[in-house]
Amino acid sequence: MKAEVDLVDIGGGNIGSISRCLERLNVRYRKSDAANPPDGSRPLVVPGVGAFGAVMQSLRASELDKRLVELVGAGTPYLGICVGMQILFDGSEESTASPGLSLVPGKVVRFRHPKVPQIGWNKLTSLSKQWQPGYAYFVNSYFPVPDNAGDTLYEANYGGSFCAAIRRGNVTAFQFHPEKSGAFGESLLTRWVENVG
Amino acid sequence: MSADGLCKRIIPCLDVAGGKTVKGINFGNLREIGDPVELGRFYQEQGADELTFLDISASNEDRSTVVDLVRAVAANLSIPFTVGGGVSSLDLVKRLLENGADKVSINTAAVNRPQLIEEIAGTCGSQCCVVALDVRRSDGKGLKRRVGNGGENGTAWEVLIRGGRVTTGRDALDWALECVERGAGEILLTSWDKDGTLDGFDIELTKIFSQRLSVPVIASGGARDPDSFVEVFQDGQADAALAASIFHDGMYTIGAVKDQLHKAGVPVRLC
């Protein structure tokens, strides 16, 4: 694949697994972070694990938050994964003192389920004819609730239906880990890169 | 919770020593099975939901190969990958994660120094901290436990360490609850009575732990045939099941196990 992406390290995240996956898929990437910020010339891949509040505080401290908001506003394609998805919203129950980037209206809430985090493969229902259903690997205690139902791309069920992926303008984001979701996950990443590259 | 789409996981386990895969009855009489990189890919293609790697090397010299092996296996996998065996420091945990492990599994080291669980969970997150318990049935008399935990109805299990060779006198359910309080993200529960017997999982053990713990329980030890997996999910209420021999020896494929589970109405990821 000829596209090259900016793999953005937002802190707290292990970008190793997504970089290994991009290598398997022959997607070239440049690692970027606060010291070496993305400039909008490449689509953004933003993975993240860890706590919402810690990630947002680190983004604010380095002003990488402003850069991401600017670039998305200017139309740069953004692919968020896990916490890289959650920070797009207005805020999270996990850290009410740290607002999110407010690029997608809505909030992030905790599962009402006896076993949290959700760990494992969940069946995705697609709300778009263009995106295939499949099974994806999740590790999460929180999930987003978009204000606009039309922003939801995939749903899954864990003690109730929840939003597993969104698509809004140039923003696409997965709550699950496509890099750990076998051939199906790789097909989603390939599809995104081909569309934005 | 019947509407849940969360699937029950089937996890093949590769025991490795000195960079090679091995599996034997009750961990004795080791025999080599194959190349871990090839086996990892093979199981992924068969539909494994996750892969676990346990380093059972006897010496530190053999164990030093594990990081290289993890890197080679992980480069070829697109499913979650857990590594355990001899993991006793936060430093090694970080190296394993950097080299492609998604989770680490700790056992003896956690019993010896329970703070290791907090260190891993606090630094890398609970999601990558699996605590493995090797347990053996006991009458419960004299087992150490904190107030109010374990020993219900006279049924108890004792924690074993050092690959099952050393008893601890610790009540296993009580220890599992403490692990979860300290930040364990999953419990890998191996029945020492069943391991290597091909006699079916310990259903009572799995059920009691699954009901009491607020994190996923991976049942291990005794996998016999596809029906034994149906039992451990339906009756034992396990979240995942781990097995080695029945897959390594080619008795059943992962696909055959999943077909049987699907027929029985257990949610599984169909490939």
Q: Can you list the alpha helix ranges (DSSP code H) found in chain A?
A: 16-24, 52-62, 64-73, 83-86, 182-196
Asked if residue B229 lies in contact with residue B237, where contact means CB atoms within 8 angstroms, the answer is no
Number of Cβ pairs < 8 A linking chain A and chain B = 93
Domain boundaries, chain B: 9-263
Comparing B28 with B70, the larger pLDDT belongs to B70
Assign residue B78 a region (left: φ > 0; alpha: ψ between -120 and 50; beta: otherwise): alpha
Contacts of B135 (CB under 8 A, 6+ apart): B157, B158, B159, B160, B172, B189, B190, B191, B192, B205
In angstroms, rounded to a whole number, what is the distance separating the alpha carbons of residues B31 and B20? 10
Rg of chain A over Cα atoms, rounded to whole angstroms, equals 15
Nearest CA in chain A to B183: A117
| Res. B27: pLDDT tops 50 | no
A160: chain B residues, CB-CB within 8 Å: 3
Question: For residue B84, which of B115, B49, B116 has the smallest C-alpha distance?
Answer: B116
In angstroms, rounded to a whole number, what is the distance separating the alpha carbons of residues A165 and A176? 8
Residue tagged 């998604």 (tokens)? B102
CA distance to partner chain A, nearest, from residue B193 (Å): 27
pLDDT per residue over A150-187, tens digit each? 999 999 999 999 999 999 999 999 999 999 999 999 99
A185: chain B residues, CB-CB within 8 Å: 78
Please answer yes or no on whether B97 and A16 come within 8 Å at the CB atom: yes
Tell me, what's the pLDDT at A191? 95
CATH 3.40.50.880 fits A4-196, yes or no: yes
Per-residue DSSP letter, A179 = G
Please answer yes or no on whether B3 and A157 come within 8 Å at the CB atom: yes
Please tell me which residue in B49, B55, B134, B171 is annotated as part of the active site: B134
Please answer yes or no on whether B271 and A14 come within 8 Å at the CB atom: no
DSSP run (H or E) holding B43: helix B36-46
Tell me, what's the pLDDT at A12? 59
Q: What is the mean pLDDT of chain B?
A: 89
Asked if residue A49 lies in contact with residue A82, where contact means CB atoms within 8 angstroms, the answer is yes
| B134 has catalytic annotation | yes
Phi then psi for residue A31, to 5 deg, are: -80, 130
Chain A interface residues (partner B, CB cutoff 8 A): 14, 16-17, 20-21, 23-24, 49-50, 113-124, 135, 137-139, 156-160, 179-183, 185-186
Asked if residue B97 lies in contact with residue A16, where contact means CB atoms within 8 angstroms, the answer is yes
Structure ipTM:
0.90
| A163 has catalytic annotation | no
Comparing A11 with A73, the larger pLDDT belongs to A73
In angstroms, rounded to a whole number, what is the distance separating the alpha carbons of residues A28 and A197? 11
> Which tokens hold the place of A195?
């569309």
For residue B147, list its beta bridge partners: none
pLDDT per residue over B189-205, tens digit each? 999 999 988 999 999 99
B97: chain A residues, CB-CB within 8 Å: 14, 16
A23: chain B residues, CB-CB within 8 Å: 75
Q: Which fold has domain B9-263?
A: TIM Barrel (3.20.20)
Q: Can you list the alpha helix ranges (DSSP code H) found in A16-157?
A: 16-24, 52-62, 64-73, 83-86
Average of per-residue pLDDT across B63-92: 91
